[in-house]
Structure 1
Amino acid sequence: MKQLAKHFVATAILGSALVSGSAMAEQKIGVVDVQSVFQAMPQAAEIANNIQMEFKDQIDEVNQLQQDGQFYAERLQRDAATMSDQEKKELQQKIQSVRQQLAEKGQPLQQNIQRRQNEERNKLLGLIKQAIDGVADKGNFDLVLTSNAVSFTKEQYDISEQVLNQVKKTN
């Protein structure tokens, strides 16, 4: 009786292994390099330019403050030997004022730019996801993985170009 049970279990395991092996062979798998698709999207460059234009005035103001601060610091270093104590003190106060303005304007500007970039990146990633779904549906793929989740794949499984073409059509 024990012998029969062992044979039954062994047969069941072998049968399930054969069935699962044949089932896996029938699956269609694709791989997408989302990062390269994102970078190749024409919308990505357009959005980067739009964000730069959106914050152009503030960026210019911060850049001017940086230039002013650098100018004052160089002047203090260069002319300190010939300046009076009062002139040195005034120049140091200007430098401190510029640093304070940079802190007040620079960090919030950087945070706002980062927030906008994240918003726009998420929109583009949504477009990529829709394109992946569309390509996978048309190609009858059972599974689509991102390239960073796969250590090796043959080029025939890479559907990144198809996804990029799909994303370009949605432009």
Structure 2
Amino acid sequence: MKQLAKHIVATAMFGSALVSTSAMAEQKIGVVDVQGVFQAMPQAAEIANNIQIEFKDQIDEVSQLQKDGQFFAERLQRDAATMSEQEKKELQDKIMGVREKLAEKGQPLQQNIQRRQNEERNKMLALIKQAIDTVAAKSDYDLVLSSGAVAYAKEQHDLSDKVLEQVKKAN
């Protein structure tokens, strides 16, 4: 009786393995290097330039503050031996004022730039996702994975070039 039960279970397992293997063989699977497509998109460089232009005045102001702070610090270090205590104190106060302005303007600027970059990156990723969906539908793929999630894939399964072409067509 136990032998019969073991044979039935073994047969059922073997049969399900064959069915699942044949079902998997029928699936068409593709791979896309999303990061590579993202970097190859012509819009990527354009967006970076647009963000730099958008925040140019603020970037220049923060850059000037950094230069001023560095100038005052170098001057204090270089001329400290010949300066009076009053001059040293004034220069140190200037350095502290520049540092406060940098903290006041630099961190919010960096956060705003980061926020804008994320907004634009999300827009581009949505375009890539749309392109992947289009390519997968046209070529009748059942599953498309990110190349970062796959240890190995044959080159014939790589859809990155087709997705990049589709993204370029979309704009």
By how many angstroms is 1:3 displaced? 4.8
Deviates more, 1:12-21 or 1:63-72: 12-21
2:166 paired residue number: 166
Secondary structure of 1:80's partner?
helix
- The residue number in structure 1 matching 2:84 is 84
DSSP-derived class of the 1:140 partner: coil
Q: CA deviation at 1:13?
A: 2.2
1:1-171 mapped onto 2 (5 Å cutoff): 3-171=3-171
**Structure 2: distance between partners of 1:4 and 1:161:** 55
Shift of 1:41: 0.6
Taking only the aligned residue pairs, the percentage that are identical comes to 81
Letter in 1 for 2:136: A
Task: Judge which range, 151-160 or 63-72, deviates more.
Answer: 151-160
Report the TM-score, using the length of structure 1 for normalisation. 0.95
How far apart in 1 are the matches of 2:99 and 2:74? 14
Amino acid at match of 2:127: L
The code of the aligned residue for 1:129 comes to K
Q: Aligned partners of 1:58, 1:140: CA distance in 2, in Å? A: 49
Task: Count residues with an aligned counterpart.
Answer: 171
Q: TM-score, normalised by structure 2?
A: 0.95
Deviation at 1:7, TM superposition (A): 3.6
3-state SS, counterpart of residue 153 of structure 1: coil
Cα-to-partner distance string for 1:102-123 (whole Å, 9 max, x where unaligned): 0000000000000111111111
The whole-number CA distance in structure 2 between the counterparts of 1:125 and 1:160 is 14
Structure 1: 4+ residue segments shifted above 6 A: none
Q: Residues of 1 paired with 2:151 and 2:51: CA distance? A: 35
Q: What 5-or-longer segments of structure 2 have no aligned partner? A: none
Write the deviation string for residues 117-169 of structure 1: whole angstroms up to 9, x where unpaired.
11111111100000000111011101100011111111111111111111111
Amino acid at match of 2:50: N
- Distance across 2 between alignment mates of 1:11 and 1:91: 87
Which string of whole-angstrom CA distances, capped at 9 and with x for unpartnered residues, describes residues 52-81 of structure 1? 111000000000000000001111111111
Q: CA RMSD in A?
A: 1.3
Q: Structure 1 residues 5-14 or 113-122, which shifts more?
A: 5-14
